[in-house]
Structure 1
Amino acid sequence: MVYAPTVLFALGEGAVIPLIPVIATRLGADVSMAALVASALVIGQLCGNIPAGVLVARIGERFTMVFAGIASVIAGVGMLLAPSLVLFAAAVFLLGFCAAAFGLARHAFMTTRVPPRFRARALSLLGGSFRFGVFIGPFLAAGLIQLTGTEMSSMWVLLACAGVIVPLVLFGPDPEKSNPVLLKPTGAAVAEDSGEVVTGSIPTIDQQGVLRTMWAYRAVLLRLGSSAAALSAVRSARQVILPLWGVSLGLDASTIALVVGVTGAIDFALFYASGQVMDRFGRIWAAMPAMLMMGAGFIALSLTHDLDEATMWFALMAAVLGVGNGLSSGILLTFGADLAPEREPAAFLGSWRTLTDAGGAAAPLIVAAVTAAVSLPLATGVMGAVALLGAAGFVRWTPRYLPKRPV
């Protein structure tokens, strides 16, 4: 009841994501417009985080997930039957909004109910559940497309998964009742912008709302939130840069897909290691190696484009980026849970997830702009520099706002 709905939602979303640009082109979009329609998913998720925080605070995690499941069915039907590109894009946006609500509801549940001593492992497993669904979903969609001969059949995976989630969450055992709310014995966030670490119980203002929460916690959101946004940006850039790099080297589609697929497999295989490291040695010991590895991987890749063995370096650095991304699994969830106030964490988590999603949404735009203005290698190097700056931010601010070792 904790992880199964997450896997189901990610399966449905993962089945649809690769087909969004294809369906958009069938509805009359050119390449650039298809990319814009695909970005509506990220924009919907970005816009949905803060309203989702309000929803969780008012009706609870369980009913927020039910709401997200029902709305996902509506989004799936909209994408399946949309007669125009505008309505299809609106349905994609709604699916992104549902993803934000579903993800934040489960994040808030884990934040308030998982003991701190194994919180990172639990949240890494939650992140791994999302990754598993997104990894397997396209294969389910491919099988259906092979059987039916139409890419629209991928929507049935989304509808089936969302259709199972709603009764499962609504009528299954309620984990909110079987798992009591736990108050953290120590805290790292600040109730007022004093710049000092608060230990012991954290004084909070009950029902203070999203905007007041953002203002009260502006210091930690600006400092550690910026580093978290940098990590999210580097993750997002990896998904854009690797395919473009393969194309720029003149590799065929199957070779690019193989390299990206192996990278994704490495990424998925390592998701639990991050939680082990964070729980045993401290949060910084997972964040730092992941950021340094991805930063070094991007910078090294940016220097290999014109070498004789450029293809070999491409595959090698893609693997390095996969390892770094795998080691970062659950980090953003765990930092958000550690920093959230004991009471009413949903509003803070909505603000935190908005920052991280903004970093992920900005990265493709940065890569596209720098590539258009100068070159892809420079854009790759820029993202490497962003990773190193994020690593520096984690080193500077993590000891101030979080304990050096897990509780």
Structure 2
Amino acid sequence: MTNSLRHILLRMAPSMYGPTILYTLGQSALMPLIPVLAVRMGASLGLSGLIASTMVIGQLVGNLPASWLVARAGERIAMLVAAGVALLGVLGVLFAPSLGVLAVAVFVVGFAAATFGLARHSFMTTRVPFAFRARALALIGGSHRLGRFAGPFLAAGLVAATGDPLSAVWAFAGCLVLTALLVGFAPDPERVVPLPAPSEAGSGVGSARPAAGQGGSGAGAAAAAARGSSGIIGAVRAHGSALWRVGGSAAILSGLRAVKDVLLPLWGVSIGLDPAGVALVMGLSGTIDFALFYLGGQITDRFGRMWAALPPTIAMALSFFALALTHDSPAAVPWLIASAVVIGIGNGLSSGIILTLGADLAPREEPAPFLGAWRTLVDFGGAVIPLGVSAIAIASLPLAAGAVGLVAVLGAAGFARWIPRFLPTVAP
């Protein structure tokens, strides 16, 4: 790790990485207990699952207004606002008098998470030099993974100690207060991390080279469109080509990451594993994923974005195809373990790549509107693909795994086609 990279990471730790761990830790402690709380209030299993899903819906909806807030108030204020709004949502969960209020409160928590994530992404897009942007963003991915890994254990410990599921909700409230204190009282990251020189910052999509045969329609058209309008709509008009192509592939990768959390447990149950065995398989995959996150950032910075996007996506495609062909095999359990390991490797080595691609493509002058559109598209993929796979799984689990493999092939083809067009191979 170079001295300049270490210097920037240490300066960002109190206001970026620490708050990310705390926020994700609290949110991940809350999420498994939402269905429990809903059932205690009289909801059916189906309705409790629907209430839990409102958090994902809130995050999808929240990306667009989040871009407006970040562009006008700045990243630090936006993160403080997000923590405050999330705390209101948590209080709604704690004191909800009805299932309707509970659903709204969970929606608000997801809505606030969108603003928190976008503010963090926008800051690092503008402040981290291109040469080690992927490693800095991979650490964001690693911080998020750490919070997701530890959050359910925190919830389990608190519920076991107190006998009350609401104890985990109070823990999230405490995490939000600590997050706000870190963001509010740590040195202002916008002051301690200066803007990099233009030669170090890299280029946004506004200056991406046009495809062959397009002449001067790339940068010039993007800049003209950007001048013609502003906000999310202006960002989509100016940079829609890269957004839909590279962003669409990133949305598929996001969907693959979400699918494995649904499909692998279902697969374990269907081939006869007990709950402990399913948990061990998921834990093994998650441990490998977490162990490799920084290596993924190093690969991205040193060898180019393609190496952290294409091989992991292909590896996950092959893993899902292997599952589809081995469900009724006598070696179904070893195949599941091997597939879970390969998926964990793919997830780990692609850590931070979605954030990095969005940061690379975002216009440097005002990245928040583009990143809002980018994150909406990526989150949409992460929400819709698992729903589609779950619907197919009702008919056939192997068919669902094969469908995921085909979707992964589409994502890999998109990365192979569009990353070379819109992004430089390595840091300048």
Q: TM-score with structure 1 length normalisation?
A: 0.95
Q: Residue 342 of structure 1 aligns to a residue in which SS?
A: coil
1:101 maps onto 2:152 in alignment: no
Matched-pair contact (CA < 8 Å) for 2:208–2:218: no
**Distance in 2 (alpha carbons) for counterparts of 1:206 and 1:63:** 28
Residue 230 of structure 1 is matched in structure 2 by 252
**Distance in 2 (alpha carbons) for counterparts of 1:114 and 1:206:** 28
Shift of 1:192: 10
**Distance in 2 (alpha carbons) for counterparts of 1:207 and 1:6:** 33
Q: Which runs of 5+ in 1 are unaligned?
A: none
Deviations 1:73-96 (A, max 9, x none): 111111111121111111111111
Deviations 1:162-212 (A, max 9, x none): 01111221222101111122354342513799756549x978539821111
**Correspondence list, 1:1-400, <5 A:** 1=14, 2-182=16-196, 184-185=198-199, 186-190=202-206, 198=219, 205=227, 208-372=230-394, 374-400=395-421
**Distance in 1 (alpha carbons) for counterparts of 2:410 and 2:161:** 48
User: Structure 1 pair 99/391, CA: closer, same or farther in 2 (3 Å)?
Assistant: same
**Distance in 1 (alpha carbons) for counterparts of 2:160 and 2:56:** 28
CA RMSD of aligned residues (A): 1.9
**Distance in 1 (alpha carbons) for counterparts of 2:136 and 2:40:** 41
**Distance in 1 (alpha carbons) for counterparts of 2:39 and 2:195:** 48
Identity of aligned residues (%): 52
Matched-pair contact (CA < 8 Å) for 2:302–2:427: yes
Residue identity opposite 2:427 in structure 1: P
User: Structure 1 pair 171/348, CA: closer, same or farther in 2 (3 Å)?
Assistant: same
Shift of 1:22: 1.6
Deviations 1:5-54 (A, max 9, x none): 11111111111111112222212222222221121111111111111111
**Distance in 1 (alpha carbons) for counterparts of 2:364 and 2:379:** 23
Shift of 1:294: 0.5
Q: Residue 303 of structure 1 aligns to a residue in which SS?
A: helix
Q: Which runs of 5+ in 2 are unaligned?
A: 1-13, 212-216
Residue identity opposite 1:295 in structure 2: A
Matched-pair contact (CA < 8 Å) for 1:370–1:376: yes
Shift of 1:141: 1.2
Shift of 1:364: 1.8
**Distance in 1 (alpha carbons) for counterparts of 2:333 and 2:292:** 25
Q: Residue 266 of structure 2 aligns to a residue in which SS?
A: helix
User: Structure 1 pair 319/175, CA: closer, same or farther in 2 (3 Å)?
Assistant: same
Residues matched between the structures, number: 405
**Distance in 1 (alpha carbons) for counterparts of 2:181 and 2:84:** 10
Q: TM-score with structure 2 length normalisation?
A: 0.91
**Distance in 2 (alpha carbons) for counterparts of 1:38 and 1:298:** 27
Segment of structure 1 superposing worse, 27-36 or 43-52 = 27-36
Shift of 1:290: 0.8
Segment of structure 1 superposing worse, 344-353 or 175-184 = 175-184
Deviations 1:82-133 (A, max 9, x none): 1211111111111111111101100001000001100000000011111111
User: Structure 1 pair 54/190, CA: closer, same or farther in 2 (3 Å)?
Assistant: same
**Distance in 1 (alpha carbons) for counterparts of 2:402 and 2:104:** 35
Residue identity opposite 2:372 in structure 1: G
